[in-house]
Amino acid sequence: MSADTFHVVVVGAGASGTLAAARLLDAAADAGLRTVVDLVDPAPTTGRGLAYATPDPRHLLNVPAGRMSALPDTGDDFVRWLSGREGRRVDPGEYVPRTLFGSYLADALDRSAAACHGIGVLRRRHDRVVAIDRLTRTGHRLAGDTDVGVRLRLRTGGTLDADAAVLALGNLAPGTAWLPAGLADSPGFVADPWRPGALADVPADRDVLLVGTGLTMCDMARTLARPGRTVHAVSRHGLLPQAHARGAPTAPADTTRHPPPVPEPHDLARLKRRIRHRAAFYRRLYGDWRPAIDELRPDIPLLWQQLSVPDRDRFLTAELREWEVHRHRLPPATDRALTAARRAGLLTVQAAEVVAAQRNNDSREVAVRLSDGRSVTVGAVLNCTGTESRVKELTDPLVRNLLGSGVATPGPHGLGFDTTPEGRLMSAAGHDAAPVWTLGQLRRGNLWETTAIAEIRAQARELASRILESAVTPTLV
Ligand SMILES: Cc1cc2nc3c(=O)[nH]c(=O)nc-3n(C[C@H](O)[C@H](O)[C@H](O)COP(=O)(O)OP(=O)(O)OC[C@H]3O[C@@H](n4cnc5c(N)ncnc54)[C@H](O)[C@@H]3O)c2cc1C
């Protein structure tokens, strides 16, 4: 921290952290404010995080390229970048490999850094933040003291003092509540299939079991299904994500032509009725229910906040999976490949839970008993259940530190951290005390719809302008 330079540390260099850093640099340039942005992540790459690190070209974006711009207002930025790189006119309706999007984000950040002309400086640090302490004017925490910044402790032992911090921790560990005894420490168990190199030890000639039937499972099945191996996929409901409509997306045009009623549902029953009604309406008009889900998207935070606590609980326990399979859809090519794999008997999808598992120390195989009475013997079990959003369940040192010190407190329903509408952390005492902001997955409890690029890029811009505002209005920090 120095008197003439504003200093922000962004924790996490996945999509959220990269977009936050880019928007902070843009905002610094606009304000003419000398700013240093430290972007901290142990990962060797920038912009990839969990979703865009996969090198497998069969792992596609589940959103058409035309809707994946890094900037809220420049819808075709990604398509233009991609067309330049590929040397062809990329169609905005294409579903392209996710690895390309990771490269684009890194490039978008470089462009913002270059456009700053030295007013904003980007520093990339390969480290992990393990704790954040509040800094006060006196150096001690006294009643009535105002925070003037934060001190971030790094895994390698150093510290960074900053005027503000942004938590872009994204997809934390996958949930493990379903794990039977003995499976977690089995060599055949893959706790996080997105960890680089996670599939390296999956035996090529053995069947595999994928637990979870969402988008992660679909990608893993595409990678692993092959003649001579059966991929078994199970989840409590056995529901697969629906596919996107083939051809150009219809939703934006349709919704402007048929504006949905102002979001009047205040309870879950009314909300479900309205979705069914709108789905029937769009089906009659276009033979497609999907716009009924897509048109809700900008209003989801409001609809979520309006629901009563028991209704939100009901949604989380009884309706979640049904919602997810309609909201988070498969690219058509992935859908076709999975259908073909199922027809060929290379992939099975069942509604079942894992009841017990026993490892065979000689063969390294795992015998898994399922709740539908079947048993499968597999070379690997992959945890495809998706990331854990209930922060109290997480063992991540930084999350534990923030909850333990009261700098952060769980969001509604224990999901993510509680934040102000601008994304600043609420402390356990109920104030936005520390100059720490967050975006993406960690805002789940407040907003529900917060993990896709459309939401993340808007949040990145909002928090960047708030943080820079706080720099020129010093009473805020
Ligand atoms: C498989 C998958 C596919 C998706 N596809 C799409 C899509 O096509 N379109 C779309 O709009 N959305 C998609 N999403 C949703 C969204 O874009 C992604 O979730 C995206 O990964 C969010 O980025 P993130 O930076 O918040 O999180 P992450 O990608 O999880 O990145 C978080 C980063 O923070 C780092 N980190 C964590 N803790 C610390 C710490 N203490 N110190 C330093 N660094 C830390 C991690 O190392 C990681 O690099 C997808 C999500 C997944 C999981």
- Answer whether 50 contacts ligand 1 (Cβ < 6 A): yes
Please check whether the two domains, 6-59+97-173+389-476 and 189-242+330-383, share a CATH topology: yes
Q: How far apart are CA 64 and CA 62, in angstroms?
A: 7
Q: Cα(438) to centroid of ligand 1, in Å? A: 13
Q: Which CATH superfamily is domain 189-242+330-383 in?
A: FAD/NAD(P)-binding domain (3.50.50.60)
Confidence at residue 2, expressed as pLDDT on a 0 to 100 scale = 65
Q: Are 416 and 394 in contact (CB under 8 A)?
A: no
Q: Whose alpha carbon is nearest atom 53 of ligand 1?
A: 51
Q: Ligand 1 pocket, 441 CB below 6 A?
A: yes
* Residues 456-477 pLDDT 10s: 999 999 999 999 988 865 443 3
The segments of the chain whose pLDDT lies below 70 read 1-3, 137-147, 247-263, 472-477
Q: Could you tell me the two tokens for 441?
A: 């997955």
Report helix, strand and coil shares of the chain as percent, to nearest 5.
35, 20, 45
pLDDT of 250? 52
Pocket lining: 40 vs ligand 1, CB cutoff 6 Å? yes
So what CATH class is 6-59+97-173+389-476?
alpha beta
Q: Whose CA is closest to atom 12 on ligand 1?
A: 452
Q: Which helix (H) or strand (E) holds 255?
A: helix 251-257
Pocket of ligand 1 contains residue 9 by CB under 6 Å: no
Which residue, by CA, sits nearest to atom 48 of ligand 1? 49
Q: Express each pLDDT in 112-167 by its tens digit.
A: 999 998 899 999 999 999 999 998 765 544 445 566 799 999 999 999 999 999 99
**Tell me, what DSSP letter sits at residue 165?**
E
Does the beta carbon of 49 lie inside 6 Å of ligand 1? yes
Q: H/E element holding 224?
A: helix 215-224
Give the Å distance between the CA of 20 and the centre of ligand 1. 13
Pocket test for ligand 1, best of 19, 39, 50, 391 (most atoms within 8 A of CB): 50
Given this model, what pLDDT does residue 297 score? 87
Closest CA to 382 of 170, 200, 169, 181: 200
How many angstroms is it from 52 CA to the middle of ligand 1? Answer: 8
pLDDT in the model for residue 475: 40
Ligand 1 pocket member 13 (CB < 6 A)? yes
pLDDT tens digits, one per residue of 310-340: 999 999 999 999 999 999 999 999 999 999 9
Confidence at residue 432, expressed as pLDDT on a 0 to 100 scale: 75
Residue 245 Cα to ligand 1 midpoint, Å, equals 25
| Distances in whole angstroms, Cα of residue 321 to Cα of each of 104, 121, 240 | 31, 43, 9
Give residue 142's pLDDT. Answer: 45
Task: Please say whether the dihedral angle defined by the alpha carbons of residues 214, 63, 318 and 288, taken in this order, is positive or negative.
Answer: negative
Cα–ligand 1 centroid distance for 114 (angstroms)? 24
Express each pLDDT in 230-246 by its tens digit. 999 999 999 999 999 87
Is residue 447 a contact partner of residue 455, using CB atoms and an 8 Å limit? yes
Ligand 1 atom having least distance to the Cα of 60: 8
Distance separating alpha carbons of residues 325 and 243, to the nearest angstrom: 9
Mutation choice for ligand 1 from 23, 41, 385, CB with most ligand atoms inside 8 A: 41
* 51 Cα: distance to centroid of ligand 1 (angstroms): 5
Closest CA to 48 of 109, 137, 135: 109
Q: Is the CB of 61 under 6 A from ligand 1?
A: yes
Q: What is the pLDDT, as a whole number, of residue 89?
A: 95
100 pocket-lining for ligand 1 (C-beta < 6 Å): no
Report which residue type is found at 319.
Answer: E
Does 168 contact ligand 1 (Cβ within 6 A)? yes
Q: What is the pLDDT of residue 360?
A: 82
Name the residue of 171, 324, 328, 399 to mutate for ligand 1: max ligand atoms within 8 A of Cβ. Answer: 171
- Measured from the CB, is residue 172 less than 6 Å from ligand 1? no
Contact 10 CB / ligand 1 (< 6 Å)? no
Complex ipTM value: 0.99
User: CA-CA distance, 243 to 220, in Å (whole number)?
Assistant: 17
Domain boundaries, the chain: 6-59+97-173+389-476, 189-242+330-383, 251-327
Question: Would you state the pLDDT for residue 140?
Answer: 46
Q: Which atom of ligand 1 is nearest to the CA of 53?
A: 29
The per-residue pLDDT for 361 is 74
